[in-house]
Chain A
């Protein structure tokens, strides 16, 4: 199985300041067809995970443009340009390159 490793495990951010988190996969997520199957989810307290970003950098409809995804191969980053109170929760990366899909351990974002 592909192992997904997220860092840091938690981050405390001042409202309005940027935040960044990393996700590394144990093998490349680039498919021969050119797509890279890396997803980012946010799970707010008491809610199910919601998809924010698919295929590394494509935002789901309705996701604010302060969220951006980047990376390639095995190294990926999610950035929040200006963190708002509603952004707190646990962020998970997930690979959909191979079955089984696997998740990282999560990065918990808290407000200072």
Chain B
């Protein structure tokens, strides 16, 4: 069955960087558009970024554009989110999602001094 397992979250100071990973299994990863979506405590989901199946095209939400980079390694069935210049309002549970149909359990990022 489809599995998405996020990792790499943690507590980080403002201005620092973090890289999230999402290990995918149970489907043909290299044929699938992948997303990152985040959810701040007590709030609704907020879409972060999307990457095409071949990695050639990426799109970002305005709140992360220029700071975050989405990428993928189809040989490793893994999705990444490089997060730079982190801010307290980036604090959230970060989910990877297969198209919109299946989401992982998320990895928590806390940005605090």
Contact = CB atoms under 8 A, between A and B. Distances in A.
B106 to A, nearest CB: 6
B44 A50 contact: no
11 contacts: A47-B105, A48-B103, A48-B104, A49-B103, A51-B100, A51-B101, A92-B44, A99-B59, A100-B47, A101-B35, A101-B100
Contacts of A41: 45
Contact of A92 (B45, B104, B105): B45
Interface of A: 39, 41, 47-51, 54, 60, 90, 92, 94, 96, 99-106
Most chain B CB atoms below 10 A, which of A41, A49, A104, A106 = A49
Nearest to A37: B100
Interface string B52-73: 0000000101100000000000
A68 to B, nearest CB: 19
A48 B103 CA distance: 7
- Chain B interface: which size bin? 10 to 19
Contact of A50 (B62, B103, B106): B103
Given A51-B102, A94-B100, A105 B47 contact: no
Given A48-B103, A60-B101, A105-B44, 12 more contacts: A39-B100, A48-B104, A49-B95, A49-B103, A51-B100, A51-B102, A54-B101, A100-B47, A100-B59, A101-B35, A103-B46, A103-B47
B2 to A, nearest CB: 12
Interface string B94-110: 01000011111110000
A102 to B, nearest CB: 7
